[in-house]
Amino acid sequence: MKNKIFDDPEFQKLLTQIIEEQIPFCRLLGMKVHSLEPDSPALTLTMKPELLGNFAQGMLHGGVIASVLDSVAGVAILLKLAQQQPKEDVFSQLREFGLMSTIDLRIDYLKPGKGQSFTANAEVTRLGKRVANVLMTLRNEQNELVATGAAAFMLHERN
């Protein structure tokens, strides 16, 4: 029996490559795929000096946090689409990633972004025909909630 696309090792391998190597800004920040589970995928980020917003205090720049939460939201939507609206093949499915775009993003900064590594999770709260909504969280390696986010994305459209 054929794997479902979102469980297909080839799909997961290619999606990991896209995020970690082919999206230039995700690569610049060093985002890594931690889980591609459709209900709560996770990206991780390792602290490095270039990501600091404040050298003295050793805190991530708020823009880094926004970047990883925006990215994990997109991944969550792609996986939900693969689960609920599977395409005929892996490449058609991955193509959806390039056809979605963030409508808007809200980040709540709860704690200073201090830590050695950070995990971003996302949950799709609505997958509509044209628009999807997502809630996100960022935790550090001590499992402290550093930030939460909410985003709306447009689906299936060339900008």
Contact set with a copy of itself (CB under 8 A): 22-29, 49-57, 59-64, 66-68, 70-71, 98, 101-112, 125-126, 129-131, 133, 135, 145, 148, 150, 152, 154, 157, 159
Helices (H), the chain: 9-17, 24-29, 62-84, 90-99
**Closest CB to a copy of itself among residues 7, 102:** 102
Which of these, 36, 13, 24, lies nearest to 122 by C-alpha position? Answer: 36
* Closest distance of CB 9 from a copy of itself, Å: 24
**Closest CB to a copy of itself among residues 53, 86:** 53
Structure tokens given for 16: 């990991």
Instruction: Collapse the DSSP code of 121 into the 3-class scheme (helix H, G, I; strand E, B; otherwise coil) and give the result.
Output: strand
| Burial tier of 113 (Cβ tally within 10 Å: 0-12, 13-18, 19+) | buried
d(CA 146, CA 115): 10
* Closest distance of CB 70 from a copy of itself, Å: 5
> Does residue 87 contact residue 5 with C-beta atoms inside 8 Å?
yes
Beta bridge partners of 154: 101, 131
* Closest distance of CB 87 from a copy of itself, Å: 18
**Closest CB to a copy of itself among residues 9, 24:** 24
* Closest distance of CB 43 from a copy of itself, Å: 12
* Closest distance of CB 102 from a copy of itself, Å: 5
**Closest CB to a copy of itself among residues 7, 52:** 52
Structure tokens given for 110: 């709860």
**Closest CB to a copy of itself among residues 59, 122:** 59
